Amino acid sequence: MLAVLLALTLVLSAGCGNATEQPADSVGNGAESREADLSDQRYALLMSHMTNAFTMEMSGAVKAKADELGVQLTIFDGEHDVAKQISQAETAITQGYAGIMVEPVSVDGIKPAVTAAKAAGIPIITVNQRITDQELADAYVGANPVEGGELEMRTAAEDMGGKGKVAFLLGPMGSDGQIGRTKGYYNILGQYGDIEVVYEQTANWKTDEALKLVENWLQTGADLSAIVANNDGMAMGALKAVEDARLQDKIKIYGLDATPDALAAVKEGRLAATISQSTTEQGMLGMETIFKIANGEEVPAEIIVHHTLIDKDNVGEYIK
């Protein structure tokens, strides 16, 4: 009997020991589980619009980074409508997205959506354009629009020899890009008392609207030396109007965004210059930043990329 009891004790001890051991592939299963968790994370990108090369490049860069990180991304098109963008933010909040990136239609209009996301515990950052009370968001990733406007206007002023008449094509009124870049223009104009602004109107980032506006300006017989546009899309519309009027040797056009069509026009000598705001870098940094916040990492309140002047002397370095 004693021998039988000892044998049973040994068997039970061995069984208990085996029960506490992990399977040989348990580490691998844990890694797969973490990967599965990441693939379930959904992020939202709320673009102000999706109508030109800049917004396509920006959203494409965000998507590429999301794919690299192994997470899901949904891109929403605000169509220049702040009410629609707020509704899209509310959808992302209701559906429990892990994080939200917003390229705001308006510096003021989108604030209620930012506040709602924070109240719901969902990280939210702005990309490319700030909002007023930017501290309501978790971070800003983008360029300084004032810096871009200053570089663009300084280039035009120097090409004009510090005198002459200029016209401005503005983005949607109240957007951060329009406000900041135009402020940059006037910062530089303060140094050039002999440059006169004769026209200043919005074309809402759109090529066709810019084309019609500039056609109207030219019909008045205004003696323009330069047209400076808040973005390349509007610059290309202005360029067409000027070329159609056979005034390309008299009026120089300047843009901002370094879009493929603008770069090609600079290389051909048709567009005087464009300004790069590191669009792809902005998009990738934006996705990386919201991912870090959603996964408990600390990030700076602002991550700033810089502008670069692109003209006939260096355009070859930027054409893909």
* Tens digit of pLDDT at every position of the chain (320 positions): 334 333 434 333 333 333 333 333 333 444 444 444 777 899 999 999 999 999 999 999 999 999 999 999 999 999 999 999 999 999 999 999 999 999 999 999 999 999 999 999 999 999 999 999 999 999 999 999 999 999 999 999 999 999 999 999 999 999 999 999 999 999 999 999 999 999 999 999 999 999 999 999 999 998 999 999 999 999 999 999 999 999 999 999 999 999 999 999 999 999 999 999 999 999 999 999 999 999 999 999 999 999 999 999 999 999 97
pTM (2 decimals)? 0.83
Provide the pLDDT for residue 116.
Answer: 96
Say if strands 308-310 and 274-276 run parallel, antiparallel, or are unpaired.
antiparallel
Domains 39-142+279-305 and 146-276 share a fold: yes
Instruction: Tell me the CATH number for domain 146-276.
Output: 3.40.50.2300
Provide the pLDDT for residue 39.
Answer: 74
Angle at 280 between CA 279 and CA 283, to 5 degrees: 90
Domain extent listing, the chain = 39-142+279-305, 146-276
Provide the pLDDT for residue 223.
Answer: 93
207: tokens are 């090529």
Provide the pLDDT for residue 6.
Answer: 38
Is the CATH number of domain 39-142+279-305 3.40.50.2300?
A: yes
